[in-house]
Each structure stands twice: as C-alpha cells, then as structure tokens.
C-alpha cells in the first residue's frame, strides 16, 4: 500500500526521554530487585521507541522506527531474556524493510561505579530466514550474570505503512519505563489509543507542530511500573491483554484530493469490505448459486435448513485448512473445486444461505489466540477470520463457521474473541459474541437403591458449547464425546450419545455400587458442567480470567429411597451470588415421601474478571465448590 501519489516530504524524530546507549546510572547498576515486582527475575529498565513517517515523490512512504531496550537481569530464571530475536520482513509484497544500526552489549559493574561493556560481536549475530518473507535477526548476550544489564538498539526503515504498528509496553517480565514517540503527517488522520491490562498507567501526550511547511501530529506514550504478564488457564492470548499503544492510520486527506480511507472506522471499514471484489457478490442473485441451493433440501425448521446447507458445503467444497479473514477465491471458483480458505468457505456458505432466503452475513472477527478487535477504532490487522452470522426469524443471532470440524459448523471456543463486526449493506453491526454465545447444559440424574445396590444413570443434554463444559474437550464428534465422558469417571458402565451437535444428548449408566452391608450410605450428588474449580487453586493470578462464553447449567437429581432406609441429611439448600450478581448458584434440596429432589442452577453471566477481582472470585468459587460437595446420607432402618 504505497502512497506514492503524495509529494510531501516530512521528517522529524522525537526523543521522549534522553536515555543514552551505554550510559547507566549507578542506581541501576546496584539495583537488586524490581521495586514493584520484587519476585521478578528481570525488569525492563527502559524500552524507548521513536518513529516517524515521511513521504516523497521519489521514494514514496518511508517509516523509520528505532528502538532502544535496556534490561536488568536479577537471576537465572530470566536469563532467557538475553536471547534476542528481531523479526524483519524481507518479502517484496508490502514494500521493503531493512534493519540497521544494531548495537548490543552487556554491562557489568562489580563496584556499582565502574562499568565494563562487553559487546555482542558481529560474528555472533545470526540471520535466520524463517519463511520466504521473514527473517529473524538473532543473538545472545555475552557475560550474562545475576545483576548484569543488557542493552540493545536498532533501526528499521520501511516503505510500508503496515510497518506502523502498535507499541507493546507489557511483556513476560515487568517494565519500569516504556515510551514511544511517533510522528505522523497531519494529512493522515490517525487514531491513537491505549489498550490492555495496565492501560491506566499509560500517559499520552499529543501535539502538533509545523515543520518544513507541513503540519505534524506527534504522539508520545509513556508508562512506568507495568507488571509482567503470563498465560494462565481461562485466559486468552497475551496479545489480548498486553498493555499497548495503538496507532491506527485512518485516512489520508491531501488538499485538493479525495480523502482516502485507510483504517480505524467500522462504518468505513464496512463500506470498503463490501466493495472488495470477492465480497461484492453479497446480496446478489446468481444462477449457479440458485441451482446449488436448490439441490439442498429445506429442513423442517430454519435451523435444520441451515445445517443442511453447512453439511452440503462441508461435504463438497474443498477447504485448504488455512484460516483467514480475506477470501482467497471468488465464490464461483469454490464451486469449481478450487481449495478455499476459511473466509472463502464462509462466503460460499453465506451465499448459499442467502439463496435459501436466510439472512446470513459475513462476520469479521478474530480467533481467540489473536488480537481482540477494538470496540471503536478497528485495525484491519486485528481481524484474522471471517465467520457467518445468521439473523434468525426470532431476531436472534446464530453463528456458524463453515470450516468448523463440528457438525453443522458450530463455532468453537477458539473462534470467539469477544467482538465481531457483521458486514451488511448499508450499515454493519458490532456484535459482542461473548454475550450472545452461551454454553448450556441440562442434566438429569436418577438414583435408585435396589437389592442392596445403588444404581445411577444420567441424561445430559447440551448445546454445542455445553459439550466443552462437560468434558473440557476441544473439537469433538459424538464418538469422541462418548469416549471423553467415559474417561471422565472411574465407574462408567456405558455411554450413549445421540442427537445433533447443537443439542447433544448423552445417556450415562454408572456401575452399581454395592451398599448391602452398609448401615450408613453416603452419596455424592453428581453434577455435570461445573467449572474446573482447580483453576481457582492458585492463590495468585497475573492475567485476567476471560471465559469465551457465558454459561448456564441445570442439574436435577432424583432419588427414590426404598423402605428400610431413612434420609439422614441432604445438601443444604442455598442461594449464592457474588456481589455484582454475575455468578449465581442456587441449590435446592428437598425430600418428600421418600423422594429426594435436588435442583442445581448455576449461571455465569460475566466473562471477564481482572486480576484484582481474582481473590474475591476465588473465594466465592471455593465456597460454591464446598457446597456442591455436600452429601446425601441415608441410614438403614431395617434388615
């Protein structure tokens, strides 16, 4: 995306704070621990970035980006921080990139005053061509020891606007000071914002100034004492939560020329996507699609028709196993048997559904391990997949992924990264998938006590995401679901799974438990779909909990107690909810005429919990876990 039509030349660099390469304060030399994270094995003392964008009629766009990183190592747990890998684009599709001015050294001081500099020698800097378009510049710092400082700097010059990227201020280890200054010509309308877990720590200043007759916008981001971040269960990728400064180039407005949209605005993005040649088929009637749709039988219900279309497409189109947000083919080409990526497959699905009279549209979104789309200022680089969103007759959204390995194209937890943009003419819609996609389970467990043995069987009905609650499984079909259910318990006699995946019914029969010789019988009520409470075992959590979907479970338990036994105690009936009422658990246990009835309802209607909320959530979850372990106690009254 070269803007060679521009003729202005702008050049300016900023220096947010004077941190000179190789000049380290005595305090930093003596530093023995990170003040705000004393446990850390290392701290980024400073991470300073400067960038500017220039244009000239001869060279075109040029983005010059320099970075200077200084890290203090405290102990061996962080020695890996001294292995550096800098990715550099070497392809020619998006313009050139080049890395130069690389310098790196280790600083050691034995007395806190005198500093020995041990350079990374040039012959110890390696180039590794990772793919045909990317290489890594790699090196290891020498003489790394406890309390040493490592420091490196480099510059990247690029002709691509794609090089204008976010400035990440948070990594595995804490960062004491991070700053990024960036100058963008005023004729480029840019949007800057700060996202991530520690966004409140970041200060941003903005100014304009005239240089070389061109007005420039300059932005400086500064943050101090940003904690380190690690992956933990029920989180998502660190990219979702790492604190970062986002710079989105929205449009170019040169006097006398039409404003050109680049990025950063959902409505504009909507319009651009709909103009994209491989999307322009949307909403249009095509003979080949009508013919194809006609071969697919209508179902008895809207959902059944949708599933028929998904099934026909999955059976007959060829998926190249590559997830992308941009279709690699025109829809017609897919019908000619060419391998289609995930976006193209979904486009084919959408078109077939539209020809079936179903309101289907593309949904731009992001996989769970990718960047979370920004709710207001989207960056096209933060979307990596295109799904299908259907507006059902009842007005509700129904989400499908044409390449999902699950039957009927049910979306999986890994497809959900909170937000998606529904492309539609004339106006799209931002959808919060985490709120609209729910996992649900209904389980009915029946106990009987006959001939001195307890029989137990359960019927578990789930929607497709509820399957994940029961087994913690990934992508599964019915056979695997049955297998996982069987291995989840020690005493399963048989498992039968039936029904379409969006409403799976599993019937589980457990081995009889002989209690003939027992005077007192203790029974653990069997509940399905509970959270993995072990997730709340760690006392500390650095990253947020981020459930991909909301969930609700209902368990009913029935137990006919035969003559000769007395009900001694039941689980206590309780209604529990956390202070903001986003986690609710109601357990009702009663006995009437020798029939024990237990009803458990649990609902989590909040997806995102900050680390600050973890201690309270943990305590609450542990309380629920304790209540759900309460037993049924029966006493034999007669032989």
Residues numbered 392-431 forming contacts with other proteins, rule: CB under 8 A: 405
| String marking each residue 291-320 x if it binds other proteins according to CB under 8 A | xx--x----------------x--xxxxxx
Part in contact with other proteins (CB under 8 A); list of ranges 383-391, 495-503, 558-566, 615-623? 615-623
Q: Which of residues 460-489 bind other proteins (CB under 8 A)?
A: 487
Q: How far is the CB of 571 from other proteins (least distance, A)?
A: 7
CB atoms closer than 10 angstroms to residue 578: 20
Q: How far is the CB of 499 from other proteins (least distance, A)?
A: 21
Q: Closest CB to other proteins among 207 and 487?
A: 487
Q: How far is the CB of 533 from other proteins (least distance, A)?
A: 7
Q: Closest CB to other proteins among 357 and 405?
A: 405
| Number of DSSP helices (H) and strands (E) in the chain, helices first | 11, 34
8, 54, 97, 241, 614 from 212: Cα distances, Å: 9, 12, 26, 39, 53
Q: Which of residues 485-504 bind other proteins (CB under 8 A)?
A: 487, 490
- How many positions of this chain bind other proteins (CB under 8 A)? 72
Q: Which of 55, 219, 335, 528 binds other proteins (CB under 8 A)?
A: 335
Binding status of residue 374 toward other proteins by CB under 8 A: no
Is the preceding omega at residue 168 within 30 degrees of 0, hence cis?
no
Residue with tokens 């680390």: 611
Residue with tokens 């004077």: 18
Q: How far is the CB of 106 from other proteins (least distance, A)?
A: 9
Q: 158 — alpha (psi -120 to 50), left (phi > 0) or beta?
A: beta
- Cα separation, 251 vs 264, whole angstroms: 8
Q: Which of residues 25-54 bind other proteins (CB under 8 A)?
A: 39-41
Q: Which of 57, 452, 499, 538 binds other proteins (CB under 8 A)?
A: 538
Q: Collect all residues with Cβ–Cβ distance below 8 Å to 615 and sequence separation of at least 6.
A: none
Give the closest residue to 406 by CA, choosing from 302, 512, 502, 333.
502
Part in contact with other proteins (CB under 8 A); list of ranges 43-51, 424-432, 605-613, 625-633? 625-633
Q: Which of residues 98-137 bind other proteins (CB under 8 A)?
A: 124, 126, 128-132, 136
Q: How far is the CB of 357 from other proteins (least distance, A)?
A: 18
Q: Closest CB to other proteins among 59 and 318?
A: 318
**Do 61 and 53 contact (CB within 8 A), yes or no?**
yes
Q: Which of residues 78-97 bind other proteins (CB under 8 A)?
A: 79, 82-83, 85
- Cα separation, 246 vs 375, whole angstroms: 13
Q: Which of 14, 16, 69, 144 binds other proteins (CB under 8 A)?
A: 144
Q: Closest CB to other proteins among 475 and 582?
A: 475
Q: Strand 202-211's sheet: what is its strand order?
A: 116-119, 97-108, 149-158, 60-73, 42-56, 175-185, 214-226, 202-211
Q: How far is the CB of 415 from other proteins (least distance, A)?
A: 17
- Cα separation, 1 vs 95, whole angstroms: 8
| Paired tokens of 519 | 């005077």
Q: Which of residues 555-594 bind other proteins (CB under 8 A)?
A: 568-572
């Amino acid at each position: 995306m070269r803007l060679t039509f521009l003729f202005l030349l702008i050049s300016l660099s900023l220096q947010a704070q004077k941190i000179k390469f190789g000049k380290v304060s005595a305090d930093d030399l003596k530093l023995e621990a990170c003040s705000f994270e004393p446990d850390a094995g290392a701290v980024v003392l400073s991470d300073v970035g400067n960038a500017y964008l220039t244009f000239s009629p001869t060279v075109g766009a040029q983005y010059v980006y320099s970075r200077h990183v200084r890290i203090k190592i405290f102990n061996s747990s962080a020695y890996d921080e001294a292995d550096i890998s800098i990715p550099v684009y070497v392809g020619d599709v998006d313009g050139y990139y080049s890395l130069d001015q690389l310098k790196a050294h280790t600083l050691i001081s034995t007395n806190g005053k005198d500093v020995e500099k041990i350079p990374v020698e040039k012959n110890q800097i390696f180039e590794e061509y990772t793919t045909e378009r990317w290489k890594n510049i790699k090196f290891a710092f020498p003489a790394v020891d406890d309390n040493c400082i490592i420091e490196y700097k480099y510059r990247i010059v690029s002709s691509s606007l794609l090089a204008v990227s976010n400035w990440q201020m948070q990594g595995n280890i804490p960062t004491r000071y991070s700053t990024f200054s960036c100058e963008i010509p005023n004729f480029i309308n840019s949007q800057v914002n700060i996202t991530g877990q520690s966004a409140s720590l970041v200060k941003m200043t903005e100014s304009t100034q005239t240089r070389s007759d061109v007005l420039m916008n300059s932005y400086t981001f500064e943050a101090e004492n940003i904690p380190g971040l690690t992956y933990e269960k029920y989180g998502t990728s660190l990219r979702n939560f790492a604190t970062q400064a986002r710079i989105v180039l929205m449009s170019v407005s040169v006097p006398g020329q039409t404003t050109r949209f680049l990025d950063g605005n959902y409505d504009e993005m909507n319009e651009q996507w709909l103009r994209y040649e491989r999307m322009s088929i949307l909403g249009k009637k095509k003979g080949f699609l009508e013919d194809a749709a006609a071969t697919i039988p209508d179902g008895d219900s809207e959902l059944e028709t949708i599933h028929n279309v998904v099934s026909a497409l999955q059976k007959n189109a060829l998926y190249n196993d590559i997830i992308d947000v941009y279709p690699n083919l025109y829809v017609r080409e897919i019908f000619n048997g060419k391998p289609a990526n995930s976006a193209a497959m979904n486009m084919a699905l959408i078109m077939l559904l539209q020809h079936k009279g179903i309101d289907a549209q593309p949904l731009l979104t992001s996989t769970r391990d990718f960047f979370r789309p920004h709710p207001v200022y989207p960056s096209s680089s933060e979307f990596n997949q295109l799904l299908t969103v259907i507006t059902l007759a009842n007005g509700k959204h129904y989400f499908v992924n044409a390449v999902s390995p699950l039957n009927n194209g049910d979306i999986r937890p890994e497809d959900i990264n909170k937000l998606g943009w529904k492309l539609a003419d004339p106006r799209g819609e931002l959808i919060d998938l985490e709120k609209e996609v729910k996992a649900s389970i209904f389980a009915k467990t029946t106990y009987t006590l006959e001939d001195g043995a307890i029989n137990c069987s359960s019927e578990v009905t789930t929607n497709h995401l509820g399957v994940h609650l029961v087994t913690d499984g990934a992508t599964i079909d019915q056979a695997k679901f049955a297998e996982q259910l069987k291995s989840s318990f020690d005493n399963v006699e048989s498992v039968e799974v039936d029904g379409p995946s969006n409403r799976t019914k599993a019937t589980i029969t457990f081995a009889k438990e002989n209690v003939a010789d027992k005077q007192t019988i203790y029974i653990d009520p069997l509940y399905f779909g509970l959270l993995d409470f072990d997730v709340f075992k760690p006392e500390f959590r650095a990253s947020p909990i981020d459930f991909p979907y909301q969930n609700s479970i209902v368990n009913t338990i029935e137990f006919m107690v035969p003559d000769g036994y007395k009900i001694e105690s039941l689980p206590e009936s309780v209604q529990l909810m956390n202070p903001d009422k986003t986690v609710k658990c109601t357990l009702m246990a009663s006995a009437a005429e020798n029939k024990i009835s237990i009803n458990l309802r649990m609902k989590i209607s909040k997806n995102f919990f900050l680390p600050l909320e973890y201690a309270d959530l943990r305590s609450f979850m542990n309380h629920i876990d304790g209540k759900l372990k309460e037993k049924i106690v029966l006493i034999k009254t007669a032989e």
